[in-house]
Structures are given as C-alpha cells and as structure tokens.
Amino acid sequence: MNINMDIIKCKDEDEMSRRAASLVAEAIHRDPHSILGLATGSSPVGMYKNLVKFYEQGTLDFSKVRSFNLDEYYPIQPEDPQSYRHFMNENLFDHINIDPANTHVPQGNAEDPEAVCEAYDLMIQAAGGIDLQILGIGNNGHIAFNEPADHFPAGTHLVDLQESTIKANARFFASEADVPRQAISMGIGSILRAKRIILLASGEAKAEAVKACVEGPITPFCPASALQLHPDVTIFVDEAAAKLLSK
Ligand code: F6R
C-alpha cells in the first residue's frame, strides 16, 4: 500500500463524480492556466457533467485551461461518433468556455502515427507538463490503452488492440470489424509525469483492479499499480469498487 495514495470512499457514483469535480474545480481556481490530462470512458462522465454545471452557474472559468487527452483510436476521423475527440466535444468541450485550440486529443487520422506519438509527449512538456491527470481504470487494471504486459510502456505510443479489447469495444460500433485495430495512447511514463493524478472507479466490476492498483505489487501485469510510484494520487471509489480494499 502506497502512503501517497489518498483513497476517497464515496457512497455511490454520484457522490464520486461530485467530489472529483470539486477537486478539479479547486485546481482550476488555484491556477486558471491549469493543464488537465483527460480521459474518456464512462468513469469521468458524471464528473464532466458537474464541471459543466459549475461553468453554467458561473463559478468555473475554462478560458485559460489547456487539456491533453490520454488516447485515441487509430485510424479514426475526429468527426466519427466513436472517436474520443467526438466524445470529449459531446461530454465536455462543447458545453464550457475552453478554447478548442487549447484542447488536444492524439490525432487519429494522421498519416504518420509514430510522428504523432513522438510529438505528443514533447507538446505536453513544452506546455509545462500536466498539472492534473484524470484517469479511469479497466477491469484488468489498464490505464489509458496500457494493457497488462511484461513491461511498462514509457511514452505515447501506437498500441495494437488486444482481441479482448476489440470485442469489449465492439458494442459501440456497427460491428466488430469496424473497431479500429490500433490506438495512440500515452504511456505509463507520460502519465507518471503529471504533477497530480486522480483516478475514478465505480461498480463492482472494478473492485479487483482497484485492489491490485492500491495494494498489489507494482507490476506491468496491472498497469495501474505503477501509480503507487507517484507522490500525489487521489483515488475516488464508490462502495462497490472499494469493497476488496483492506482499509
Ligand atoms: C479512456 C481510457 C481507458 C478507460 C478505462 C475505463 O480514455 O483511457 O483506460 O479509462 O477503459 O473505462 P470506463 O470508464 O468506461 O470503465
């Protein structure tokens, strides 16, 4: 167990989303030029809704915020409804006053994806590094598209999607054949460079991954366990996702 991990146990997903959104809002209040690392998937959706609400209430200003997303399918067009760029526009960017030019999602339609990967980490560094990284976690302990493997990928890289991921994600596409076979993903090194990290997990299906992330050995077979090496991680969990934690 890593003493630097702050575990915030919430009653349910609603409370998790509200408390995580308050933490993000406080960070932006403290530094209006905050650089956020953002995730897609179901875990942060409620948090994004709360951030939109703060903006609509006039208590949160995104005009100077910049953002970098964790990952994107490859190949995919940005306007494809399954693209992570589309997801971010729909769930957050289109509803707040962030400058679209300040939002970055790895370019899923690039001709040279390797060049995109190399440029992405450099772009983050040139911007000053991510102040606050938001993460979800896969049932198997993945973070971004870093799946269990025998090593930790360092920087942003092109990933061949595992058969199980293609099958799991097929539900969002017309058919399994339509799921892109690759993705561009920040590496574990890119994620660990963030100054502060928050991870959101809700539902019983995440319980084993949360336990392995917080209490298990640091191993690439549970990519999220690398977070134990980071000095400032806050994990928001609901009761179901927290149920295997020893404390
Ligand atoms: C999304 C991402 C993924 C998800 C993870 C959990 O950008 O990088 O690692 O965070 O697959 O997904 P949900 O939240 O849908 O359970």
Which residues have CB under 6 Å of ligand 1? 39-43, 70-71, 136-138, 142-144
Residue 15 annotated to the active site: no
pTM above 0.95, yes or no: yes
Q: 5-238 has which fold? A: Rossmann fold (3.40.50)
Q: Which atom of ligand 1 is nearest to the CA of 185?
A: 8
SS3 (DSSP) at 24: helix
Give distance in angstroms: CA of 137 to centre of ligand 1: 6
- pLDDT tens for the 247 residues of the chain, in order: 556 799 999 999 999 999 999 999 999 999 999 999 999 999 999 999 999 999 999 999 999 999 999 999 999 999 999 999 999 999 999 999 999 999 999 999 999 999 999 999 999 999 999 999 999 999 999 999 999 999 999 999 999 998 888 988 899 899 999 999 999 999 999 999 999 999 999 999 999 999 999 999 999 999 999 999 999 999 999 999 999 999 8
Nearest C-alpha neighbor of 180 from the set 202, 165, 196, 197: 165
Which residue ranges make up each domain of the chain?
A: 5-238
Ligand 1 closest atom vs CA 206: 16
